[in-house]
Amino acid sequence: MKLKLAVLPGDGIGPEIMEQGLAVAKTVCEKYGHELSYEYGICGADAIDKVGDPFPEETFKLCMESDAVLFASVGDPKFDNNPNAKVRPEQGLLAMRKKLGLFANVRPVTTFDCLIHKSPLKDEIVRGADFICIRELTGGMYFGEKYQDDDKAYDTNYYTRPEVERILKVGFEYAMKRNKHLTVVDKANVLASSRLWRKVAQEMAPQYPEVTTDYMFVDNAAMRMILDPKFFDVMVTENTFGDILTDEGSCITGSMGLLPSASTGEHTPVFEPIHGSWPQAKGLNIANPLAQILSVAMLFEYFDLKEEGAVIREAVNASLDQNVRTPEIQVEGGEKYGTKEVGAWIVDYIKKA
């Protein structure tokens, strides 16, 4: 097929991991005879520095004209430490999600057998854990009315029925494709927005009689993820809860550098690692490119190119098995590999596969 990508490397380690993700995409396209074209767009702190806007109109246009967006990460400490900054790199990411209508963020949490020991949790708890968190991505406190002065501030956790319905539908459909177990995570004992979620979910559940639907308060879900992550098959939740729970999920896998995600909705889908821009590691060739590379696998799978996705997953598994790993998951005393070397090894593996 013809595939046009918008490539948004962003800030910090973004450009380094993107280089590897893109190399993998090119290799797979060559191998399977797909015609790949791509164009770079600016976003985040990089775009603020260049044009004063973290998601410039040009980048938006590029995204709209592409089949998919490959995104890396945004964020820079010079903004984090300045509460008075008027524009922030993260606003670029939020603008992209909103303008592309990407309401469904799919974040798989899986384990790799050879990395089980990297999880702070006990082997028997994490081994075999495999679930998907579906995070609502364009509503809630991230986008609701906000106010801030020196003495008070608020964010509004605003949701409408159609917004809740469409994301729950994604949850039910994923559950149907998997083990038919959906957990709706909310805080319905306290929050009105959560009560709407629960009410809508209860109304929809009878349309999916094969799915076992249960409801869990978010505090309990956070605990359950650590005590018994295998309980979960598909979890669906609002924007902020999903943000928090998926960082927690990365501890099950053992490294933030391993978790990809797909954001889909009304316009061009975006594929991106769940981690941030790790500015301290910028330029050091130590960032793990696997979350980005696995995001490329999700991209191919989105277009129903299953073999293409599978060969990337196979290459990633092989690299881990053969200790071709970035420092944070390296076996002690083993050979040292950086971002580039891991990427190159995976490219090479795919070529030969």
CB of 309 to ligand IPM, least distance (A): 21
Task: Confirm or reject binding of residue 308 to Mn ion (CB under 5 A).
Answer: no
- On whether the CB atoms of residues 29 and 21 are closer than 8 A, the answer is no
Q: Which of 219, 228, 321, 348 is catalytic?
A: 219
CB of 247 to Mn ion, least distance (A): 6
Chain-centroid distance of CA 215 in Å reads: 23
Q: 141 or 315, CB closer to ligand IPM?
A: 141
Residue with tokens 């606003």: 91
Q: Which of 187, 233, 337, 349 is catalytic?
A: 187
Annotated catalytic residue 321: no
Q: Find the residue with minimal CB distance to Mn ion.
A: 243
Residue with tokens 């390296």: 330
**H-helix or E-strand containing 268?**
none
CB of 132 to Mn ion, least distance (A): 16
From the list Mn ion, ligand IPM, none, which binds 90 (C-beta under 5 to 8 Å, kind-based)? Answer: ligand IPM
Q: 271 or 337, CB closer to Mn ion?
A: 271
Backbone angles phi, psi at 185, to 5 degrees: -100, 125
- On whether the CB atoms of residues 102 and 137 are closer than 8 A, the answer is yes
From the list ligand IPM, Mn ion, none, which binds 171 (C-beta under 5 to 8 Å, kind-based)? Answer: none
Q: 3 or 72, CB closer to ligand IPM?
A: 72
Look at residues 102, 82, 103, 80 and name the one whose alpha carbon lies nearest to residue 90.
80
- Measured between alpha carbons, how far is 119 from 122 in angstroms, rounded to an integer? 7
CB of 97 to ligand IPM, least distance (A): 8
Q: 213 or 263, CB closer to ligand IPM?
A: 263
The alpha helices in the chain, defined as continuous H runs, are: 14-32, 44-51, 57-64, 77-80, 89-99, 123-126, 161-177, 192-204, 218-227, 239-253, 290-302, 306-321, 339-352
Task: Confirm or reject binding of residue 341 to Mn ion (CB under 5 A).
Answer: no
CB of 240 to Mn ion, least distance (A): 10
Question: Residue 307, Cβ neighbours under 10 Å: how many?
Answer: 11
From the list Mn ion, ligand IPM, none, which binds 276 (C-beta under 5 to 8 Å, kind-based)? Answer: ligand IPM
Q: 270 or 329, CB closer to ligand IPM?
A: 270
Strand, helix or coil at 167?
helix
What is the radius of gyration, based on Cα positions, of the chain? 20
Annotated catalytic residue 219: yes
For the segment 112-171, give every residue that binds Mn ion (CB under 5 A). none
Q: Which two tokens stand for residue 34?
A: 């797909």
Instruction: Provide the binding-site residues for ligand IPM, judged by CB under 6 A.
Output: 75, 90, 93, 243, 274, 276
For the segment 227-246, give every residue that binds Mn ion (CB under 5 A). 243
- Measured between alpha carbons, how far is 274 from 248 in angstroms, rounded to an integer? 11
Annotated catalytic residue 187: yes
Annotated catalytic residue 76: no
Annotated catalytic residue 247: yes
Q: Which of 142, 174, 337, 349 is catalytic?
A: 142
Q: Which of 208, 243, 337, 349 is catalytic?
A: 243
Size of residue set near Mn ion by CB under 5 A: 1
Residue 313 to residues 67, 111, 256, 295, 349, Cα–Cα distance (Å)? 22, 13, 17, 10, 11
Please give the positions annotated as active site. 142, 187, 219, 243, 247
Q: Which residues bind Mn ion (CB under 5 A)?
A: 243
